[in-house]
Chain A
Amino acid sequence: MELIFEKSRPGRRAVVFDPLDVPEATLPPALCREEPAALPEVGELDVVRHFSRLSQRNFGIDTHFYPLGSCTMKYNPKMAEAVAAHPGFLALHPHLASAPAMWPLCQGAFELIFELERLLAGIAGMRQVSLQPIAGAHGELTGTLMIAAYHREKGNARDTILIPDSAHGTNPASAAIAGFKVVEVPSLPDGTLDPEAFRKALNESVAGVMMTCPNTHGLFEPRVREIAQMAHETDALMYYDGANLNAIIGECRPGDLGFDVMHFNLHKTFATPHGMGGPGSGPVGVGERLEAFLPGPRVVRDGNAFGLASPPRSIGRISAFFGNFLIAVRAYAYILHLGGDGLRQVAHNAVLNANYVYARLKDLFEPAFDGPFMHECVFSAAPLAKHGVHALDIAKALLDRGFHAPTVYFPLTVKESLMIEPTETESKETLDAFCDAMAEIARLAAREPETLHAAPVTLPVGRLDEVRAARELNCRV
């Protein structure tokens, strides 16, 4: 398909402004660019066709089953889109929050932020929540910065964060970006964190522990409270990565499990769309120990009005205003719509769907662990290597069959990993069709592996030469 730049015709225009109704003004030439930027010269229909056609070269939840493990690709209700498109939200200038004189003009937005923070705190068993972090990884960074501030305040010399080897890459990256050393703690063969290894790794230099529960193996960490107790005895704080909150919402709360700080992925658990990789939203929740360190300023209630104040030992602004506000609007609408019972049903049916897929596939592919799995199940394609078939081939063959692939090659702890997260919004017939396709692929792997190596053949392009891309680095025209 042509690039939009290749459709450019000199002199063609889409948006044209009204003639200037004030005198023209000029800037000194030394401050101006010499040539206009070489942007495409196209008509509005050129643009509309180009991007409509580009969109058709994508798999999305609206068009395809998308069982991408660890990413919670569930249906994003259109109602949430409608409320986020309200002109009263879209036109709201963020600097209205900067001066108390203008606060009366943004009371509705303040109320929404206040209410959503309160609801999220209740859902997670946390004392307070801040919507400031812009994405999950940004929430992790915010959380680790609060942990650093806590120890600095107490005069503790702590420079290390403990992280299980099954963690998302963002955990060690966030801890390192916050200025910590990272020590990896191994998992047991059953896929849960090794408490003995944890005990050995825990010492006076450890500032905190980052855990995901259920972890990225799809398993609930049964010794999580014991681990939290050990950590707290040394004044190390417990961080909960909320990536997999969808599995336990309404059943367990991170605060009750012993966590001091966490992030939510509103774009996962609370059904806001993933937008090809973003925007997301990564609010942080804190318990008693970190309440005073939350980012500020934050929305507070003062009688019937809402205003702003900063917590006493706030780490400061982690984003300019209140994070990705429109994502918060969507999440708020979603929580109001589902309510307490609906949210519990989310966890129930997410876990049901994953276990159903597991039950149907466990004799066809090698389970990476014995389970019991929560919202996702992990298989290893390693036994198929004898036929020359790899996880990547399975992924591509699924694309040909109209399904997005599961997450492959993550978690790193499992060889040839296939990580399947069906989510609660998929029907039984979709899951059955997916499992049938997986069964067919398993048969082909043994009998006609070459057909899998050729996949995908039904899409606009076949497998692309990534080595060439990295060596040539053609990243623009």
Chain B
Amino acid sequence: MSFVPVTPVEQAEMLATIGLTKIEALFQHIPESLRATSWDVPPGQSEMAVRARLAQLAGHGDGTRICFLGGGYYDHFVPAAVDALASRGEFATAYTPYQPEAAQGTLQSIYEYQSAVCRLTGMDFANASLYDGGTAVFEAATMAVRLTRRQHIVCHDSLNPLYREILETHTANLGLELLDGDDPAGAACVIVQNPAFLGDVRDFAPLAQRCHEAGALLIMSFYPLSLGLLKTPGAMGADIAVAEGQSLGVPLSFGGPYLGILTTRKEHVRRMPGRLAAATEDAQGRRGFVLTLQAREQHIRREKAMSNICSNEALIALRALIYLCLLGKEGLREAAAHCHAKAEFLKRRLSFARLLNPGPTFNEFAIRLPRKAQEVCAALAEQGYLAGLPLSAVGRGEETDLLVAVTEQRTRAQLDAFAEALARACR
């Protein structure tokens, strides 16, 4: 089975047109010594057999439990219309809109996505998408290095440790220095996250001001859904704001595909990585959309490009746009308010544990348990819960520390039952 529609008779006709008799002759110019030395891919299987095999793998382990696990990736509700629309073949099987007249659906959706993201964040420009939240931090950091011509990057302890690790991997050969803290002196940028990895909500406006006085940029990693309630990166004075867009209508999917969001201020747009759509007109004055500022990108600028990104996450950006439209102005506020209220409710039910957050949190908080967090997670998994993220596993706490996230999907009954189950497991 290979989805090849050409029949043997047609194949013979085509070969005759080419002037050959056997299909192998198409490869005869490749010397024998360069041919595959082995080829042991198993024989093909029917669709029925393959789907049965994949269903078995999807069921094996079964991570589908009542979810209090977050750590940057959350179990939010996804309206059915997101899947129905984003799975349309006209979107899913199109490519990068290199021929704008034949890709107005793609281009208008990117323009609308950029608009929605700017309105959400209070920033001036959003690109058409990056890979995910972690790589977006790297792109933002190198953008800051280009803009400031400075060589060190300061990571605030609010930043997701995975993002920090991804940043280290990507910059290993660039001669940049990665420092911890929040001192902007001499730095290209200070990278913060709001809410913090451990859940704390802050106002980074004073730090933004300190950054600007020191000639550094403030990069903020934000949680898109939280902006239904929280002060925006734009209002805090961030120069570049990036995010993991998974919370906007994207299933957890064991890590991807996700969505890297990157936004910036007007004055920095020409140093921004990634694709950008813009409105314009045709000769008859009809509105249309094109990719613009492509001279920043790899297919034109090559080694001097702002980034090497080519494939992005356009279809996931479309999901995020559809999600934001379905929730709308009031729905997004409601979703964020519910996440916050339910998390606060659960927080108060966990008095047997020590809360580690000194101030306000949004929908996630860290607690210290009387017992090892991994043991508690294993015990609660038996009872149908994903209890949270054991923080020592990601290098951010003691073995007894657990990061607990609550989304709008959790009901009061689930919160009550989970609080009891957790209390029992800790006894």
8 intermolecular pairs with C-beta atoms under 8 Å apart: A14-B79, A47-B322, A58-B102, A88-B62, A101-B374, A134-B131, A276-B94, A476-B111
Known contacts A274-B95, A339-B45: A21-B34 contact under CB 8 Å: no
Nearest 5 A-B pairs (CB), nearest first? A339-B44, A321-B255, A88-B58, A275-B315, A62-B89
Chain A residues in 8 Å Cβ range of B69: 93, 95-96
A145 to B37, CA, bound (A): 28
Judged by a CB distance under 8 angstroms, whether A379 is at the interface is no
List the A side residues contacting B31 at CB < 8 Å.
222
- CA of A87 to CA of B251 in the docked complex: distance in angstroms? 9
Q: With A and B bound together, what is the CA distance between A104 and B60 in angstroms? A: 9
Which interface residue of B44, B83, B411 has the most chain A CB atoms within 10 A? B44
Segment among A167-175, A193-201, A439-447 that sits at the interface with chain B: A167-175
- Residues in A whose Cβ lies below 8 Å from that of B39: 250, 253, 340, 344
Given A16-B331, A37-B228, A123 and B310 touching (CB < 8 A)? no
* B166 and A319 form a contact (CB under 8 A): yes
Does chain B have a CB within 8 A of A369? no
Chain B residues with CB under 8 A of A104: 61, 381
In the complex with contacts A24-B337, A225-B34, A475-B114, A459-B102 CB distance below 8 A: yes
Give Cα distance in the complex from A461 to B13, angstroms: 39
Residue ID in chain B nearest A275 by CB atoms = B315
B85 touching A326, Cβ below 8 Å: no
Q: Which residue of B62, B84, B172 is within 8 Å of A48 (Cβ)?
A: B84
Q: Say yes or no for B235: interface residue by CB 8 A criterion.
A: yes
A309 interface contact, C-beta 8 A:
no
A340-374 Cβ-contact flags toward B at 8 Å (1 or 0): 11111110110111011011100000000000100
Contact A336 B105 (CB under 8 A): no
Which residues of the other chain, B, contact A182 by a CB distance below 8 angstroms? 302-303
B307 interface hit (Cβ, 8 Å)? yes
A41 within 8 A of B: yes
A105/B255 in contact, CB under 8 A: no
Q: CA of A224 to CA of B174 in the docked complex: distance in angstroms? A: 30
A319-B134, A336-B50 given; 20 more Cβ-contact pairs under 8 Å = A14-B79, A22-B341, A25-B341, A27-B230, A62-B90, A88-B55, A96-B386, A99-B389, A137-B298, A168-B310, A170-B298, A173-B308, A176-B308, A252-B35, A275-B314, A336-B42, A337-B50, A464-B290, A469-B280, A469-B292
Is A234 in the interface zone, CB < 8 Å from B? no
Chain B 96-127 per-residue mask, 1 if CB under 8 angstroms from chain A, else 0: 11111111111011011011101110100110
Does A90 lie within 8 Å of B253, measured CB to CB?
yes
A93 in complex: contacting residue of B27, B73, B283, CB < 8 Å: B73
On whether the beta carbons of B102 and A59 are closer than 8 Å, the reply is yes
A14→B326 contact, CB < 8 A:
yes
Which residue from A14, A89, A106, A177 sits with its C-beta under 8 Å from B308? A177
Which of B14, B33, B114, B119 sits near A38, CB closer than 8 Å?
B119
CB distance from A13 to the nearest CB of B (A): 6
B408 touches A37 (CB 8 A): no
CB of A60 within 8 A of CB of B92, answer: yes
A427 CB contacts on chain B under 8 angstroms: 5-6, 10
Measured CB to CB, the closest approach of chain B to A415, in angstroms, equals 16
Contact residues in A for B251 (Cβ distance below 8 Å): 90-91
Given contacts A101-B377, A251-B27, contact A346 B327 (CB under 8 A): no
Q: How far is the CB of B88 from chain A (nearest CB, A)?
A: 5
Number of interface residues of A (CB under 8 A): 206
Q: How far is the CA of A461 from the CA of B126 in the complex (A)?
A: 25
Contacts of B120 in A (CB 8 A): 37, 39
CB proximity to A under 8 Å, residues B280-324: 280-284, 286-290, 292-293, 297-305, 307-316, 318, 322, 324
B21, CB-defined interface residue at 8 Å: no
- The residue from A25, A75, A79, A92 contacting B344, defined by CB atoms under 8 A apart: A25
Contact with B along A442-477 (1 / 0, CB 8 A): 000000000000001001111111101110111111
Is the Cβ of B281 less than 8 Å from the Cβ of A15?
no
Residues of A near B334 (CB, < 8 A) are 16-17
Q: How far is the CA of A420 from the CA of B120 in the complex (A)?
A: 41
CB of B92 within 8 A of CB of A141, answer: no
Given known A-B contacts A33-B229, A122-B40, A404 and B105 have beta carbons under 8 A apart: no
Asked whether, in the complex, the Cβ of A86 is within 8 Å of the Cβ of B54, the reply is yes
Q: A255's closest neighbor in chain B, by CB?
A: B37
Residues from chain B with Cβ under 8 Å of A462 in the complex = 101, 282-284, 286
Are A87 and B308 neighbours in the complex by a CB distance under 8 Å? no
User: B394 near A: Cβ within 8 Å?
Assistant: yes
Q: Would A48 and B71 count as touching, CB distance under 8 A?
A: no
Q: Which residues of the other chain, A, contact B284 by a CB distance below 8 angstroms?
A: 462
Interface: A109 (CB within 8 A) = yes
Which of B2, B290, B314, B335 makes the CB contact (< 8 A) with A277? B314
With a CB–CB cut-off of 8 A, which chain A residues contact B381?
101-102, 104-105
Whose C-beta in chain A lies nearest to the C-beta of B127? A475
Chain A residues contacting B228 (CB-CB under 8 Å) are 36-37
Could you say which residues of chain B place their CB within 8 Å of the CB of A81?
A: 87, 92
A348 vs B14: C-alpha distance when bound (angstroms) = 13
User: Is A390 on the interface with B (CB-CB < 8 A)?
Assistant: no
A residues within 8 A CB of B279? 469, 474-475
Q: Shortest beta-carbon distance, B51 to chain A, in Å?
A: 6
How many angstroms between the C-alpha atoms of A134 and B138 in the bound complex? 14
Beta-carbon contact of A173 and B115 below 8 Å: no
A4 to B1, CA, bound (A): 42
Interface residues of B in 250-283 (CB under 8 A from A): 251-257, 269, 275-283
Name A6-45 residues within 8 Å CB distance of B: 12-17, 20-25, 27-28, 30-34, 36-42, 44
Q: How far is the CA of A346 from the CA of B281 in the complex (A)?
A: 41
From residue A133, how far is it (CB to closest CB) to chain B in Å?
Answer: 9
| CB atoms of A340 and B254 under 8 A apart | no
